[in-house]
Amino acid sequence: MTRLDRVEQTRGRFTGPPLTPRTAVIWSVLRAELDRRGDAELTVLDVGGGTGGFAVPLARAGHRVTVVDASPDALAALTRRAAEAGVADRIAAVQGDGDALAGLVEPAGVDLVLCHAVLEV
């Protein structure tokens, strides 16, 4: 079973609301990129990843994910979801803003960056 297959399996167990068209497109592009990368374990940076809608399935598939989000409440929910899914050791929650990534994450240590539905006002 490839890592892409594991992502597909974890998405199938998603018990939240139906995917929005935007989220479905993101998953489609993400699946294509994971397929292109083969069975490699990736280090993923999810900017504005909130409660882990992408991070938890990616971690279940065997990837390491760092979620950077400004909301401590969202990160607390992420930490809880990761623990419930048994992937807390594969997810790091970092509180901070996307415009300060250089001080939060080592750029050379990231294989893939997710940044979507992020709006700063």
pLDDT digits (tens, 9 = 90+) for 6-56: 555 555 544 455 678 888 888 889 999 999 988 899 999 999 999 999 999
Whether pLDDT at 106 is above 60: yes
- Look at domain 3-115 and name its CATH class: alpha beta
pLDDT recorded at residue 22 = 85
Q: What is the mean pLDDT of residues 54-83?
A: 96
Q: Where are the domains of the chain?
A: 3-115
pLDDT recorded at residue 104 = 83
More confident position, 34 or 5: 34
Residue with structure tokens 């979620």? 67
Helices (H), 38-90: 55-60, 72-85
Task: Give residue-wise pLDDT tens across range 64-74.
Answer: 999 999 999 99
pLDDT recorded at residue 117 = 76
Whether pLDDT at 93 is above 90: yes
Residue with structure tokens 């929910």? 77
Prediction pTM value:
0.81
Work out the pLDDT band at 109, boundaries 50, 70, 90.
confident
pLDDT recorded at residue 6 = 57
Question: Reduced to 3 states, what is the DSSP secondary structure of residue 16?
Answer: coil
pLDDT recorded at residue 55 = 96
Taking the alpha carbons at both ends of the chain, their separation in whole angstroms is 43
